[in-house]
Amino acid sequence: MGYLFFSILCYALNNVLWKKSLEKGSVSLIMTYRAFFTSLITVFGVVVLDLEWMSNAELWRITVGSFIGVVGLVCMLLVIKRASLQWVGIYNLTGVFFATIYLVFVKHISIYVSLLGGVIIIVGFSLFLCASRETQLKITLKEHVLLLLMTLCFSGASIIQWENLTAHISPLLILANQEVMVLFLGVLWVLRQRKKIDIIGQSKIFLKPVVIMSIIILLAQFLGLLGLKITDPFIASLVYLATPLTTIVFSVIFFKEKLSWKNIVAIVLIALGAFLVHCSERY
């Protein structure tokens, strides 16, 4: 359980570092810069460990999952550059509902518990929207659309990669594919914006933060895998519901964002709904 706890802290801290870096830096450059280090490390790990390669069909499935995940990452970064980090936590909690829809229709889990949890999530989310209208948490319709797309992409990518893991494909191979995909698409994005970005200048400024972010996110993923290996999968995935909540707490601590009592009640409702939806996987 200790591995999972520290993994959650690392994931939430990684979101904070994204936010801090993006306040003054380019989304495309920082995303690509970090992917350079993470892909270098993961590919090196694949080569050194001499992992068994996958079939073309498996490679295609992993790549599709990675691409969808990158789209979600881009949407998230575009939002947190200008908006509160709390919204990422809120939408990530609601993402449990979308993932469960897949389980209801494909894996035939209990629809009754899922439906109750979904209703509570909707009520909590609606309350959070109303409570945020007159505060610094208010965001635009475009940002809501980006967050919704982020949630759908992250949920879809997690389902695809979960299927890959159950097919006994090495997690390191999946991770390396994902980071290389971020790097590839990021390079294309930077080249398209090269006239608007001081590539050399920002590369020097953000070298230290990007290296730290790379280490933290890989540490989070590594600890998560260790925790999953020695813990019941249900408990491990349930603990990860704390990651969005930790992100919200960190946004209050590091960015001095305030939460009204209505916001707190809404977050509790969303977390409760996510808990019920998640528990439906056991029935």
Q: How many angstroms from the chain centroid is the CA of residue 123?
A: 23
Tokens of 138: 């208010």
Cα torsion 171, 174, 176, 182 to 10°: value is: -140
Question: Is 74 or 218 the better-scoring residue by pLDDT?
Answer: 74
**The model's pTM:** 0.84
Local structure of residue 51 (DSSP, 8 states): P
Q: What percent of the chain has pLDDT over 90?
A: 28
> CB-based burial of residue 168 (10 Å sphere; 0-12 exposed, 13-18 middle, 19+ buried)?
exposed
User: Kindly report the CA angle at 62 between 207 and 7, in degrees rounded to 5?
Assistant: 50
Each residue of 190-207: pLDDT tens digit?
Answer: 999 988 888 888 888 899
Each residue of 141-164: pLDDT tens digit?
Answer: 899 999 999 988 988 888 787 777
Outline where DSSP puts E strands in the chain. none
